[in-house]
Structure 1
Amino acid sequence: MKYKGIIFDLDGTLVNSLEDISGAMNIVLKDLNYPTHTYDTYQYFIGSGLRNLVSKALPVSNNSDEQIQICFDSMINEYRKICTLKTKPYEGILELLDNLTSQNIKLAVFSNKADELTKKIASEIFPDYFDTAIGLSTEALKKPNPFEAVEISKKWNLNPEEILFVGDSDIDMKTAVNANMFPVGVSWGYRTEEELKTSGAKLVINNASELIEIL
């Protein structure tokens, strides 16, 4: 089958955003005199949205819904200021997007990051590549719910089977399976190859250029 569209996850797939995310959260934790976390720890907090990350980062003894909401609001305020400061595309990503664009492959971003921030990062770091960039606007539509992915396929007038779904986490692979799209895992992100395959990845690539071979 000739694939005609690709939906990408953002964090851990297109960009390494770990420093900016962890930096913003650690600012909030320091202000409250709570323990901070290392980059390696944040690697396993990422993937289910920033609110979920905040919950995981807070001490168990200070993890009420009210405290999570207060810290989430503070974290978003901090992160908004620095979300493109150290966040950069992974090696080979810009070349990949140039190649895909030249082949008229339709491209979109679907992330569990807040919609406002997803759009900001996608437009600033990848101007003119993606016709759609969708982030989290309501918890009910969070990946692995395939709703937004299927809506993108409708916008493109493509069958889900004609679309690759590319991501670095178990959540991305489950989203692809739920949407009936072809799940492609990337090994350079925040999860292991084993986790990706267990979650439904039909292929795991080790560098961006390998995606061209699939097409």
Structure 2
Amino acid sequence: MMTQVEAINGVIFDLDGTLVSSELDFSLIKAQIGCPCEQDLLDFIAQLPSAYMREEAMNIVHQHELLDAQHATILPGVSEAIAQLDAKKIPMAIVTRNFDKAAAIKLQNNPLPISTVLTRSDAPAKPDPSALNAIATLWDISPANILYVGDYLYDIQAAHNANMRACLYAPDIAPAYADQADYILHNFYELVGLVESYSKKVALC
């Protein structure tokens, strides 16, 4: 039986923990705003009963994100991989749960040849697929031909919700949910080879 494997014609990246370092302490942030450990932070804030409470909670999150942005550094292998993909004219974008100012600082301090950046200020946060879908439309590329690379469960879920392939970046021990990803990247230097292996539609037996 022959199965058609779709080419990878575009790559979308998560930001924190994927392209740049992040030291955000979500346990501390949740404790400061009263969010239960097991609940998603942004969902909790959205459900707070008053606009004032939502604003105050989000201000705390922003303070942590802006502080983290000042210290973010580009992760090993990222610059080289991005440069190689850029040389091959592979469209690239970033979708992050960061807010716009923090993401802008991180990318200003760690320049990459990626101009399309969507944050939670632009579209609903992952695992909602809206931002990923918007980029597929912008590029006029089928979601099946786009790879999403991230380091967390929400990245896998967002990719699959957008009908894209999910690549989990797991440089250390792979998490329990790693088996939900289509690919696992242990080293960023492996990314170019992965994309190249699907540069043409390949028929597999």
Task: Choose which of 14, 18, 42 in structure 2 pairs with 1:13.
Answer: 18
CA distance 1:202–1:75, change in 2 (3 Å): closer
Aligned partner of residue 25 in structure 2, secondary structure: helix
Deviation at 1:113, TM superposition (A): 1.2
Q: Is the 8 A contact 2:70 2:105 kept in 1?
A: no
Counterpart of 2:111 in structure 1 is 126
Structure 1 or 2: larger helix share? 1
Task: Choose which of 106, 110, 132 in structure 2 pairs with 1:149.
Answer: 132
Task: Choose which of 175, 178, 193 in structure 1 pairs with 2:175.
Answer: 193
- 2:136 equivalent to 1:136: no
CA distance 1:162–1:12, change in 2 (3 Å): same
Measure, in 2, the Cα distance between the counterparts of 1:173 and 1:131.
Answer: 23
Unpaired segments of 5 or more residues in structure 1? 35-40, 56-62
Residue identity opposite 2:21 in structure 1 = N
Aligned partner of residue 13 in structure 1, secondary structure: coil
Deviation at 1:120, TM superposition (A): 3.1
- 2:144 equivalent to 1:161: yes
Task: Choose which of 58, 69, 77 in structure 2 pairs with 1:84.
Answer: 69
Q: Is the 8 A contact 1:165 1:181 kept in 2?
A: yes
Measure, in 2, the Cα distance between the counterparts of 1:84 and 1:11.
Answer: 10
Unpaired segments of 5 or more residues in structure 2? 1-5, 196-205
CA distance 1:6–1:22, change in 2 (3 Å): same
Deviation at 1:137, TM superposition (A): 2.1
Residue identity opposite 1:121 in structure 2 = K
Deviation at 1:84, TM superposition (A): 3.4
Counterpart of 1:106 in structure 2 is 91
- 2:193 equivalent to 1:203: no
Sequence identity (%): 22
Residue identity opposite 1:22 in structure 2 = D
Aligned partner of residue 89 in structure 1, secondary structure: coil
Q: After superposition, give the CA deviation of every residue in 1:99-130 in whole Å (9 maximum; x if it has no partner).
A: 11111111100011113322332243124x11
Measure, in 2, the Cα distance between the counterparts of 1:172 and 1:5.
Answer: 16
Residue identity opposite 1:168 in structure 2 = D
CA distance 1:142–1:16, change in 2 (3 Å): same
Q: Would you say how many aligned residue pairs link Structure 1 and Structure 2?
A: 184
Taking structure 2 as the reference length, the TM-score comes to 0.75
Q: Is the 8 A contact 2:11 2:93 kept in 1?
A: yes
Measure, in 2, the Cα distance between the counterparts of 1:174 and 1:78.
Answer: 25
Q: Is the 8 A contact 1:168 1:196 kept in 2?
A: no
Measure, in 1, the Cα distance between the counterparts of 2:70 and 2:100.
Answer: 18
Counterpart of 2:8 in structure 1 is 3
Counterpart of 1:59 in structure 2 is none
Residue identity opposite 1:125 in structure 2 = N
